[in-house]
Structure 1
């Protein structure tokens, strides 16, 4: 499916829902970050995006006369999603709502390990004005949205349910799978969040990057199947002998573009952490990104 909207140009996706694409394309962000404007009159902004003056202006240009921003919601605090939240809040007086800061929801045991690396794209200064609880409902003038804590891609990741649709941030996208990078990401949590979303009644997904997903349950099932296949590949490779995350990445991701091999390595590491938790594999020494793992 073609997806090539013009950055900065507001598009109506559904009654009461507009999208403004940020001008930050990359191998990790696809065409850029999707900023959503929810409601009419008194509106919410979901994922303001990077701290970019042109995008800041585009969000205000997308508003009709006499419209105002009353809520700013952030799915998670990566630099392509959250940095514009504070400038937008200062300009409008609207509070920033999210699950927590960039350390919220992280596994404490993994955060204490200095050799795992990680931290890619974290917005370290992010702090919401209001910490959203799982299941909390936010009510606007003509809209209502429910926050769902969906850790995995990042510990503070949330999805938002609205009128039969889900805003899924980076947890579920149609154009690619998500990176899970320990210690900020956790694969077991990612899979549990997929199961939770698949069991919900919403069908349409509005992701942080890429086009809307019309059959959300099918896409969620496909992502879960993909992750289980990668897990099986890693176990099969370890059955032939110990290997480092880098060696496993080279052996498994044979068709990945060079620009995505770094993200692939982080996903392999996430699988190894999960397999270690399940006592199916173990590092030969301290758990680091360069340590060989063996099958148990």
Structure 2
């Protein structure tokens, strides 16, 4: 668990600090972690929910320094809504992921898409933002959402991973925008990189990140195997699959588990391994 008090600045190294937002939940762990990159001028990564307490904490942490960019990994409401108020306070542009607005059938009220997000600049894969002594490069990592970006800081060999890789739990992949095939491909891409440290939006820093990501990919493959074995015993609907696959699950997380199982099923259907009939799914011979 991250025991850093809400709103308190915590220094990671000589280039990076973080401030924890006051939005803990079963889906956000201790809350959204906003990162400040730089010393004389700053980038702010994942400003977080639109909460005046967090805005005041960030203004205190910025301490009058110029802000080069306010950067968002994706547009769930626990990540991007504070971008506009912070931009008004600092004069900084909002930079990062593309706009994405659609109805979200998932279980998370806090994760509905931010309909007011309006970036001044959208970063494509490989695009960079720079300040004094730091550079941030966009790394496209669709899967959790189609517009998800990570941000690489080569000067510290660090990757800010948003919700793509979290330090406390696997991420929710919720269709129709969340896509399991894209998520797995993005994990594979990260395994080919040589980052030494991941700083996620939720949970502690991740050391040995390639090993950690291999574990995430292996976990998803294990879930896929569970689904196929259960369906070989006969057709099942998603609640029945979740009941068998997630023994002892916190009831508050049942909806998230159902969305991730649906994402697996859609991927398996697209690979011609399962089929759907009404609300039931079955293995294909």
Band of TM-score, shorter chain: over 0.9
Partner of 1:294: 282
Q: Distance in 2 between matches of 1:175 and 1:88?
A: 27
Look up the SS of the partner of 2:211 in the other structure: helix
**Structure 1: unaligned runs, 5 residues or longer:** 104-110, 286-290
Partner of 2:86: 88
Partner of 1:40: 39
Q: How does 1:266-285 map to 2 (within 5 A)?
A: 266-285=259-278
**1:71 and 2:69 correspond:** yes
Which of 178, 181, 186 lines up with 2:174 in the alignment? Answer: 181
**1:30 and 2:18 correspond:** no
- Paired residues of 1:38 and 1:45 also in contact (CA < 8 A): yes
- What do the CA deviations read for 1:44-99 (whole angstroms, capped 9, x no partner)? 000000000000000011124x4122200000101110000011112212111122
Which is further off, 183-192 or 251-260? 251-260
Look up the SS of the partner of 2:207 in the other structure: coil
Look up the SS of the partner of 1:88 in the other structure: helix
Instruction: Tell me the TM-score normalized by structure 1.
Output: 0.91
- Paired residues of 2:106 and 2:255 also in contact (CA < 8 A): no
- The runs of at least 4 aligned residues of structure 1 exceeding 6 Å deviation read none
**1:212 and 2:205 correspond:** yes
- Paired residues of 2:51 and 2:82 also in contact (CA < 8 A): yes
Shift of 1:119: 8.1
Look up the SS of the partner of 1:251 in the other structure: helix
Q: Distance in 1 between matches of 2:61 and 2:106?
A: 36
- What do the CA deviations read for 1:181-227 (whole angstroms, capped 9, x no partner)? 00121000000000001110102000010110111111101100000
- Paired residues of 1:119 and 1:184 also in contact (CA < 8 A): no
How many residue pairs were aligned? 279
**Structure 2: unaligned runs, 5 residues or longer:** none
Which of 217, 220, 238 lines up with 1:224 in the alignment? Answer: 217
Look up the SS of the partner of 1:62 in the other structure: helix
- Paired residues of 1:118 and 1:184 also in contact (CA < 8 A): no
Instruction: Tell me the TM-score normalized by structure 2.
Output: 0.94
Q: Distance in 2 between matches of 1:126 and 1:219?
A: 31
Q: Distance in 2 between matches of 1:190 and 1:127?
A: 25
**1:153 and 2:137 correspond:** no
Partner of 1:106: none
Q: Distance in 2 between matches of 1:278 and 1:117?
A: 24
- Paired residues of 1:50 and 1:81 also in contact (CA < 8 A): yes
Q: How does 1:123-162 map to 2 (within 5 A)?
A: 123-162=114-153
